[in-house]
């Protein structure tokens, strides 16, 4: 499976995720959260930022179900789901992820017909530090 190819701006996100925390880069001056992370605030041009923990709750904004041709390790799991989650704390911040039946469950652990746009989800973390998502009401 592919692991994140991290850049300087994204490194803190993955560092916190490895500790089981979902944190979002936020401007230290105007307090606007931003994603994906970047060096400078697009609202006030401040270079000062901090990583604020969010509740980890969100809603499914959209989802897809990929089928082959795919990279071999993903093809073995197909069809699986990929969801886009809108964070409850910051609705314009949307994270790509997978809806699974529990921490460390594979990408295809939940049947695609269980997924609905608008469904409430909660973050969990896999052993290798990737955020995953579970239905709040399974």
Partner 1 sequence: MAITAGIKDATAIAGIGQTAFARQLPESERTLACRAILAALDDAGIAPAEVDALASFTMEETDEVEVAKALGLGDLTFFSKVGYGGGGSCATVAHLAAAIASGQATVGVAWRSRKRGSGPRPWKNTAVQLPTPAQWTRPFGLLRPADEIAMLTRRHMHEYGTTRDHLFNVALACRNRANQNPAAIMYDRPLTREMYMTSRWISEPLCLFDNCLETDGALACVVVSAERARDCRRTPVYIHSAAQGLPAQHHGMVNYWNDDPLTGPAWTAARHLWKHADFTPEDVQVAQIYDAFTALIPLSLEGYGFCGRGEGGAFTEGGALEIGGRLPMNTGGGGLSEAYVHGFNLITEGVRQLRGTSTAQVPGAGTCLVTAGEGVPTSALLLRN
> At a CB cut-off of 8 Å and minimum separation 6, what does 11 contact?
none
Distance spanning both ends of the chain, measured CA to CA: 26
Instruction: Report residue 23: phi and psi, to 5°.
Output: -125, 150
* Residue 24 interacting with partner 1 (CB under 8 A): no
- Rounded to whole angstroms, the Cα distance separating 7 from 34 reads 16
* Nearest approach, Cβ of residue 84 and Zn ion (Å): 25
* Residue 6 interacting with partner 1 (CB under 8 A): yes
Give the binding range for Zn ion (CB under 5 A) out of 7-15, 42-50, 71-79, 89-97. Answer: 42-50
- Rounded to whole angstroms, the Cα distance separating 100 from 98 reads 6
Site for partner 1 in 76-115 (CB under 8 A): 77, 79-80, 82, 84, 92-98, 107, 112
* Residue 90 interacting with Zn ion (CB under 5 A): no
Q: Is 76 helix (H, G, I), strand (E, B) or coil?
A: helix
* Nearest approach, Cβ of residue 104 and Zn ion (Å): 37
The binding site for partner 1 (CB under 8 A) comprises: 1-7, 9-10, 14, 35-36, 42, 61-67, 69-71, 74, 77, 79-80, 82, 84, 92-98, 107, 112, 117, 130
């Amino acid at each position: 499976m592919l692991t994140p190819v991290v850049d300087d701006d994204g490194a803190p996100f993955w560092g916190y995720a490895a500790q089981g925390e979902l944190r979002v880069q936020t401007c230290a001056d105007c307090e606007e959260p931003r994603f994906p992370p970047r060096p400078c605030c697009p609202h006030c041009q401040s270079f000062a930022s901090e990583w604020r923990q969010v509740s980890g709750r969100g809603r499914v904004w959209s989802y897809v179900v990929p089928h082959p041709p795919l990279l071999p390790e993903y093809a073995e799991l197909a069809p699986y789901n990929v969801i886009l989650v809108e964070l409850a704390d910051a609705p314009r911040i949307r994270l790509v992820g997978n809806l699974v039946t529990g921490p460390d469950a594979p990408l295809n652990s939940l049947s695609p017909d269980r997924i609905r746009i608008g469904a409430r989800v909660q973050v969990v973390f896999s052993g290798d530090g990737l955020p995953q998502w579970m239905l709040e009401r399974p």
